[in-house]
């Protein structure tokens, strides 16, 4: 059983066939699907699942804090099931590939108290941008990433 399914069961969340399929599609360490990609994969397992059900289920999972929405420069939101593992994202500026990374250190500790403007900071999001190996291989010599 996936980590996400185990967490949802632990919360007592009613696992309908549709919810289970969405959770199963999201299972994995480097999964960052759009809602449409989740729907396309869910249909393979449960042909009658509607796009609206997928969107609603993703919204519920985000509200529960079990899935993170990841936004990338004008592209469709992606959904990350690794909400309970501290990590950041490495995003390809060209193709939009997203990978989870685990840099050492504490980004919140790197922000001095006087630069927090009195905020009670609850989360830090850092996104590293660049070119994935495939896109970098097609980059003309001398061109900046």
Name the nearest CA neighbour of 98 among 121, 67, 130, 66: 130
- Cβ atoms 90, 128 nearer than 8 A: yes
86 known ligand binder: no
Reduced to 3 states (helix: H, G, I; strand: E, B; else coil), residue 135 is: helix
Return phi, psi of residue 127, to 5°.
-120, 125
84 known ligand binder: no
95 known ligand binder: yes
Q: What are the C-alpha distances in Å from 9 to residues 14, 15, 135, 138?
A: 8, 8, 40, 45
132 known ligand binder: yes
Give the residue numbers of the binding site for Zn(2+). Answer: 92, 95, 132, 135
Give the residue numbers of the binding site. Answer: 92, 95, 132, 135
């Amino acid at each position: 059983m996936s980590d996400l399914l185990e967490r949802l069961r632990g919360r007592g969340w009613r696992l309908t066939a549709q919810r289970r399929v969405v959770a199963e599609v999201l299972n994995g360490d480097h999964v960052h699907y759009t809602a449409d990609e989740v729907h396309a994969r869910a249909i393979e397992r449960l042909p009658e699942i509607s796009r609206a059900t997928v969107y609603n289920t993703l919204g519920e999972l985000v509200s529960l804090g079990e899935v993170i929405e990841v936004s990338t420069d004008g592209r469709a939101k992606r959904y990350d099931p690794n909400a309970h593992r501290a990590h950041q994202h490495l995003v390809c500026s060209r193709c939009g590939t997203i990978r989870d990374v685990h840099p050492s250190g504490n980004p919140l500790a790197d922000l001095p108290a006087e630069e927090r403007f009195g905020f009670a900071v609850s989360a830090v999001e850092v996104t590293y941008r660049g070119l994935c190996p495939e896109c970098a291989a097609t980059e003309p010599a001398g061109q900046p990433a």
